[in-house]
Amino acid sequence: LAKTTQPISMDSYEGQEVNITCSHNNIATNDYITWYQQFPSQGPRFIIQGYKTKVTNEVASLFIPADRKSSTLSLPRVSLSDTAVYYCLNNNAGNMLTFGGGTRLMVKP
């Protein structure tokens, strides 16, 4: 199974930049890397996706090194509303999509 590894939790303060790193040790050549955000009592929500180098959208940036064994989700100037669980994912197994435990981000005032 394509399990990813990421920190269990992180704390930050409002206005700071937050970087969450994920390990993709058994990523396959044609896998994309995708990050999801989940608030309490809601389903996960797509944030950003990339294949290599850097991708940026209105919410976040995603950095993927050349070997693609890791990825870093960057959230600029976080606010209290960014407190959530963040999951990284790659579809190593084709049809099956398995999530790791996620990173619980707590943003403090």
Partner 1 sequence: DAGITQSPRHKVTETGTPVTLRCHQTENHRYMYWYRQDPGHGLRLIHYSYGVKDTDKGEVSDGYSVSRSKTEDFLLTLESATSSQTSVYFCAMRDRVTDTQYFGPGTRLTVL
Binding site for partner 1 (CB under 8 A): 1, 32, 34, 36, 41-46, 49, 85, 87, 91, 95-102
Give yes or no for a contact between 73 and 89, defined as CB atoms under 8 angstroms apart.
Answer: no
Query: Which of residues 65 and 101 has its CB atom nearest to partner 1 in the complex?
Result: 101
Can you name the residues that pair with 84 across neighbouring β-strands? 105
In the complex, minimum distance from the CB of residue 34 to partner 1, in angstroms, rounded to a whole number: 7
Beta carbon of residue 47, minimum distance to partner 1 (angstroms, whole number): 10
Residue 32: CB minimum distance to partner 1, A = 5
Nearer to partner 1, 49 or 83 (CB): 49
Counting Cβ atoms within 10 Å, is residue 74 exposed (0-12), middle (13-18) or buried (19+)?
middle
The answer to whether residues 107 and 17 touch, using CB atoms and an 8 Å cutoff, is no
- Residue 13 or 39 with smaller CB distance to partner 1: 39
Say how many CA atoms lie within 13 Å of 11 toward its Cβ: 2
